[in-house]
Amino acid sequence: MSNEKPLNCGKCYGASLPYVDLNDLKGKLIVLEGTDGVGRSTQMENISKWLEVKGYGVMTTGWARSPLMGSEIKKAKAGHNLNVYTFSMLYLADFADRLEHQIIPALKSGFIVLADRYIYTAFVRALVRGAGREWTRKAFSFALVPDAVFYLRIKIKDLVPRVINAAHLNEHYWEKGGEGLDYWESGMDLKLGEDFYDSFIEYQKRMLAEFDVMAKEYGFTSIDASKSFEEVNAELKIQLEKILAQPGEK
């Protein structure tokens, strides 16, 4: 077996996709990570507008939202018969599709790419489901290393009241036709507790613990997400200014 040399080493976590040209990535890849209900999406929306007002080209990309896989993932999750590998690989296909069709082309055109979740979400979800760190990291090894990862860090006691609020529960129960808490966000497939609440707590605890491990491993910029929207937002903007001040296309 011939081992091909990793192309464009340094931009990816492992070997890049050999047929994809990674030269001339002029833009910046900014990632927002954090568990479910931590407020990533509202921050993303705000930051995106803020950057556009400043004159930057912005492209947002969201986990499990590729044209190829988005609806497929929803369908598959409705079936509840996924194992850790099929679960992870559906997200891997979604990620690869967005990387090749959205992220890399946008970076080449000098856009700021804002990613709502990134490969670290896949890492923690696979880990708590028993895949082990190594397999998932290798599977996603062609991912680009972001210019910054902002981790919206929250403790379980601050997360619970956000997720369990009337509007959210009612929406799930009445409009989505399901239980008040999301089946997968509660890790119900893992049988961690008697009901959605117990399971949610245990599942999110495990994920938060692993996010902390990864924050060190990958050098995330942690932001205290138990603070108000405005405080978190201001902190994000300070951090972003630093990234934007770095050399590159402006």
Partner 1 sequence: MPREFEAPHKYPGKLIIVEGIDGSGKSTQLQLLQKWLGSLNYRVFFTEWNSSALVNELIKRGKKKNLLTPATFSILHATDFADRFAQLIMPPLKAGMIILADRYIYTAFARDAVRGVGRDWIRDLYGFAIKPDLALYFKVPIEVSLKRILTGRPTLKFHEAGMDLGLSEDPKESFRIFQTRILDEYASLTTEYGLTTIDASQSILKQQAAVRELAKNMLKDYKQSAFLSKEENVYVK
Please state the closest distance from residue 192 (CB atom) to partner 1, in A.
Answer: 20
Strands (E), 57-98: 58-62
Please state the closest distance from residue 223 (CB atom) to partner 1, in A.
Answer: 32
Residue whose CB is less far from partner 1, 138 or 155: 138
CA max distance for the chain: 58
Residue whose CB is less far from partner 1, 141 or 222: 141
Strands of 148-153's sheet, edge to edge? 58-62, 112-116, 28-33, 148-153, 221-224
Place of tokens 């890492």: 123
Q: Under a CB-based contact definition with an 8 Å cutoff, are residues 197 and 205 in contact?
A: no
By the rule CB under 8 A, 191 interacts with partner 1:
no
| Interface pick for partner 1 out of 63, 118, 123, 142 (rule CB under 8 A) | 142
Please state the closest distance from residue 200 (CB atom) to partner 1, in A.
Answer: 26
Please give the Cα distance from 147 to 112 (Å, whole number).
Answer: 10
By the rule CB under 8 A, 103 interacts with partner 1:
no
Please state the closest distance from residue 142 (CB atom) to partner 1, in A.
Answer: 7
By the rule CB under 8 A, 200 interacts with partner 1:
no
Q: Could you tell me the CA-to-CA distances from 16 to 21, 88, 113 in Å, in that order?
A: 9, 19, 19
Structure tokens of 30?
């900014």
| Interface pick for partner 1 out of 8, 46, 48, 141 (rule CB under 8 A) | 141
Q: For residue 48, give the amino acid letter.
A: S
Residue 193 is classified by DSSP as S
Please state the closest distance from residue 245 (CB atom) to partner 1, in A.
Answer: 34
Q: Under a CB-based contact definition with an 8 Å cutoff, are residues 146 and 118 in contact?
A: yes
Q: Which of 90, 117, 89 is nearest to 103 (CA)?
A: 117
By the rule CB under 8 A, 1 interacts with partner 1:
yes
By the rule CB under 8 A, 134 interacts with partner 1:
yes
HSE of 26, CA atoms in CB hemisphere, 13 A: 11
By the rule CB under 8 A, 135 interacts with partner 1:
yes
By the rule CB under 8 A, 21 interacts with partner 1:
no
Q: Which of 145, 96, 146, 107 is nearest to 24 (CA)?
A: 107
Q: Tell me, residue by residue from 52 to 91, as one string, x for binding to partner 1 by CB under 8 A and - for no binding.
A: ---------------xxx--x---x--x-xxx-xx--xx-
Spell out the residues 6+ positions from residue 244 whose beta carbon is closer than 8 angstroms to its own: 28, 56, 250
Choose the stretch contacting partner 1; rule: CB under 8 A; options: 132-140, 154-162, 187-195, 203-211.
132-140
Choose the stretch contacting partner 1; rule: CB under 8 A; options: 57-65, 119-127, 133-141, 216-224.
133-141
Binding residues for partner 1, rule: CB under 8 A, are: 1-4, 6, 14-15, 17-19, 67-69, 72, 76, 79, 81-83, 85-86, 89-90, 92-93, 96-97, 100-101, 131-132, 134-135, 138-139, 141-142
